[in-house]
Amino acid sequence: MAGQPIPHFHNTMKQITLLACLTVGALATVTMSQNMAGKTMTYGGVKVKVLGQKPTKFPMGKSKSDWKKTLTAAQYHILIEDGTDRPFKSKYHDNHAKGVYYSVASGKPLFRSDDKFESGTGWPSFTKPISDSALIYVQDGSAGMQRIEVIEAATGTHLGHVFMDGPKPTGLRFCMNGEALVFRPAR
């Protein structure tokens, strides 16, 4: 039937795009994260100091049982159990409104919408955090690959990962889980 859309073409293209982005991201991640523990680098003004392991004390840290009382099941899975949103399912991956993204755990600001970009990965992606002191970076060897995990400095909760395949000026892609964020539009 001429002029008819190809069934499932859009979803297939999303899957192909995601696979390509994940492959590029994985290659960039291996380059970025190999032997990075203990090193500090600056990318377009963003200071990234990679720790070999996650610290155990945080100013606003809580026990797992306390987090379970304050977070939804999905938030708990991502923030405490280091889970991830399903690609293209995050409430913020396609958000284009102006405003600030805050931590769902602490309420502290983490990212500005001006630094958000379309990465094609299905997760909200940013070129830089709102401040260098808001985040901590930790070497992550889970899921069979080497990555740089991004955790909130105030709570120690898992937010996502940072990759070296972002746009200028930093060249970084902060790939964040939407469940870890709360968006507040600009007034």
Active-site annotation, residues: 175
- E runs forming strands in the chain: 40-43, 46-51, 99-103, 109-112, 116-117, 125-126, 135-140, 147-152, 158-163, 173-176, 181-185
Asked whether the CA dihedral 160, 163, 166, 171 is positive or negative, the reply is positive
CA gyration radius, the chain:
17
Residue 155, H or E segment: none
